[in-house]
Amino acid sequence: MDDFAKCVITAESARTQKLLEIGIALSAETDLKKLLEKIISYARELTGADAGTLYAVSGENLEFKIIQNDTLGISLGGPGSEPITLAPVPITKSSVSGYVAVTGQMVNIADVYESSEFDFTGPRRYDEKTGYRSKSMLVVPMRDHQGEIIGVLQLLNAKDEATGETIAFPREVEPIASAFASQAAVSLNNAKLISEVRDLFESLIRVMATAVDAKSPYTGNHVHRVAKLNTMLAQAICDSREEPFRDMCFTADEMEEIRLAGWLHDVGKLTTPTYVMDKATKLQGVNDRVELLRLKFELAKARTEAASLREALGGSEVTECETLAKAQSEIAALGEECEFLASLNQPSEFVTDEKIVKLNEILQKRGDLVTADEAKNLSIRKGSLNDEEMALMRYHVTDTAKILAEVPFQKTRKLKNVPLYAAQHHEKLNGKGYPFGLPAENLPMQSRILAVADFYEALSAKDRPYKKPMPIETIEKIMGFCVKDGELDGDVVNLLFKGGVYEKFEAEYDREKNAGK
């Protein structure tokens, strides 16, 4: 065997080995844009091409996906690159790329300027515009495992390794280029499938969030805001250069878990009665029963007035005046008591002991006007939910865990912690949270971030029927108390306010909200 033959065999072996390495690299890439960029880069590396274009079949056209040209320093269509604005190429036999897409045959041209087989108006116009000289061209069909052509690789200007001069693509690279194109097609289909499954999964997540939104617009807005703030807080931790987060960061997979946990943390509210979720006042059911309470007190006032008139008519002038005066005093007391009860109907941050004492005095005095259920609800110290309703509301976390347990997160290593974080967003560092009462050592940072995001959103929301918007100073003060009581992670809360995350979040949310109008 002569030296030339040995060199050819060595070169072929090197290309084959390189093809195997590239095949492994392509199969590991699941990001579509990165994969497309790698395909054309590897194709050029295997064939020694100075430039190349990757087309994808789209209906009756070939769409430009990636354009690379080393001489001109051009890289378009890839991640972080400028988009391609060129019009698609019709799949017809007039153009070389269209011909390859139609016939499935590889085309190797030594000099496009000397070829009359195809219409090369496009390349010539491109050369005139850029000063480039298109010469040799190798156009390869991308055929997947089912034999379907899904794209075309158009490689331009093979370079002589020794001199750097443009030469024709050697015939010996054609089998390698063909094998690579098939490998690339299969990898591309796999990546598309993964992308489609991911998109489907994302859509199902959005559907569940939308279902909560449809049931209660307030909770729907809450889900969107928490999902966004949750991710922003996690990113702020990664970006922090100060203690305690200086050396902490989340991987891309962990960030995806954090994002999805934010979207899914309240999915259990699908089982929560709407009247509980949207209970705006303490006496609200199908409607606000405070009006019924008012009506009963008005009726009591009318009866008092009627009784006093009947009594006055049967007595002396002095007795008449005393009776009417007593009745007016009773009517005034009924009115004052009714207004007090109506004020208690509005949820507040906390009902004082003095007000509870006054309520009990009224209940003892007017037991015939206030039902046991009305009394129970008006006795609520904080918010609008009584103990039973609060239990129903809290149960949404357990339902969230149950619902997410039916989704095979555990089978995907990248997302296995989503149910865990979502179900822990009401846990507290002091072990007094729900539903599990977990201590701080059992609460990962991801769960702590979600708890802070959820709490902040509940206080800052401007669209809840059961509360008025709070100024940021009040919100920070309340969350500070929660930190002092061992409920929330102080470092995360500090990052939220002192780190300015809440300002960035509110600005971005308002911008997105206005853009969606």
User: What's the pLDDT score for residue 4?
Assistant: 41
Look at the pTM and tell me if it is higher than 0.85: no
Sequence spans of domains, the chain: 11-193, 216-277+390-515, 290-384
Task: Compute the distance between CA of residue 497 and CA of residue 456 in angstroms, rounded to an integer.
Answer: 10
CA angle 183, 184, 189 (to 5 degrees): 100
Task: Compute the distance between CA of residue 503 and CA of residue 155 in angstroms, rounded to an integer.
Answer: 50
Cβ atoms of residues 275 and 284 within 8 Å: yes
Question: How many angstroms separate the Cα of 351 from the Cα of each of 190, 355, 487?
Answer: 60, 6, 22
Task: Compute the distance between CA of residue 150 and CA of residue 58 in angstroms, rounded to an integer.
Answer: 8
CA 336, 339, 345, 346 dihedral sign is negative
User: What's the pLDDT score for residue 322?
Assistant: 79
Task: Compute the distance between CA of residue 470 and CA of residue 464 in angstroms, rounded to an integer.
Answer: 11
Provide the b/e sequence for 25-39 (b: ≥16 CB within 10 Å).
Answer: ebeebeeebebbbbb
pLDDT along the chain (517 residues), means of 10: 46 62 67 85 92 93 94 91 90 94 95 90 88 95 89 95 92 90 84 77 76 68 90 96 92 93 88 76 80 89 85 62 82 91 81 91 90 91 84 82 81 85 95 93 97 93 73 93 95 95 93 73
Question: How many angstroms separate the Cα of 338 from the Cα of each of 146, 342, 352, 380?
Answer: 78, 6, 18, 17
User: What's the pLDDT score for residue 7?
Assistant: 45
User: What's the pLDDT score for residue 26?
Assistant: 67
Task: Compute the distance between CA of residue 320 and CA of residue 53 in angstroms, rounded to an integer.
Answer: 105
User: What's the pLDDT score for residue 5?
Assistant: 44
Q: Does domain 11-193 have CATH number 3.30.450.40?
A: yes
User: What's the pLDDT score for residue 489?
Assistant: 97
Compute φ and ψ for 117, nearest 5 degrees.
-75, -30
Name the CATH topology of 216-277+390-515: Hypothetical protein af1432 (1.10.3210)
Taking Cα atoms as reference points, which of 61, 239, 279 lies closest to residue 151? 61
Where in 344-440 does DSSP place strands (E)?
none
Cβ atoms of residues 157 and 179 within 8 Å: no
Q: Which 8-state DSSP code applies to residue 278?
A: T
Cβ atoms of residues 42 and 49 within 8 Å: no
